[in-house]
Structure 1
């Protein structure tokens, strides 16, 4: 799947809110940098962490539960 399609699916998961999506990607990238395992089939050494985070969100593996 192309990255444009992944981004479109990830945006659907956030009701097309780019601000929320960017915050979710940023937070997940930090978690991946700190040793969290990817929730999708990906190689941290090859794939970009932002792409992995985007794939996880697009697949519905990561959801926004609460903003306070």
Structure 2
């Protein structure tokens, strides 16, 4: 699946998340992967960039993004 399709899937499945929050979540997971965390996907990760791998994990629901608040709720 293309990066654009994965991004659209994540944003559609998580209506409270915007693309900036997704970018932060992908960057954090990417750092974890590059620092030795194992992938939660059952794929050969040797040929996949860590940012793409992080986005795929989030899109599949293997990584749950928490910690963001909705600024509209007070």
TM-score computed with the length of structure 1 as normaliser:
0.81
| Residue correspondence of structure 1 range 1-68 to structure 2 within 5 A | 1-15=1-15, 16-67=17-68
Structure 1 residue 3, shift from structure 2 partner: 2.3
Q: Secondary structure at the match of 2:12?
A: helix
**Higher relative contact order, chain-length normalized (CA < 8 Å, sep 6+):** 1
RMSD: 1.9
Q: Which range moved further: 50-59 or 5-14? A: 5-14
Structure 1 residues not aligned, in runs of 5+: none
Q: Aligned pair count?
A: 68
Give CA deviations for 1:9-29 in whole Å, capped at 9, x if unaligned.
122244250111001001000
State how far apart, in whole Å, the 1-side matches of 2:58 and 2:13 are: 7
TM-score computed with the length of structure 2 as normaliser:
0.76
Deviation beyond 6 Å, 4+ runs, structure 1: none
Which is greater in Rg?
2
Structure 2 residues not aligned, in runs of 5+: 70-74
